[in-house]
Amino acid sequence: MAETDNTSVARIEAVLNEVDRALERLRAGTYRSCQVCGAPIDEASLVESPLLAHCPAHPELS
């Protein structure tokens, strides 16, 4: 049971880290830009996945 709890905590921490990074991008004005190439990320993609940090040109990062 402790291993499951540790796994759950690790997943929650990972999501919170992603949220923190998204908030930093929002503050910096780069939230809607791909963190790899700078291309714009379309609004529909961000609505579907608000923590998305890259455009579809980088599927290996999904």
Average the pLDDT over each of 1-5, 8-12, 58-62 and give the range with the smallest value: 1-5
Phi-psi region of 27 (alpha: psi -120 to 50; beta: other; left: phi over 0): alpha
- Quick check: 45 and 53 in contact, CB under 8 A? no
Dump pLDDT digits (tens) for 27-45. Answer: 999 999 999 999 999 999 9
Over the chain, what is the mean pLDDT?
92
Is pLDDT of 2 > 70? no
Domain at 30, CATH number: 1.20.120.910
Write down the pTM of the prediction.
Answer: 0.81
- At a CB cut-off of 8 Å and minimum separation 6, what does 37 contact? 55, 57, 58
Number of domains in the chain: 1
The tokens describing 35, both together, are: 């963190």
User: What is the domain range of residue 33?
Assistant: 2-61
How much is the pLDDT for 19?
97
Residue whose tokens read 């930093």: 24
Query: Containing H/E element for 5?
Result: helix 2-28
Pairwise pLDDT comparison (2 vs 43), residue with the higher score: 43
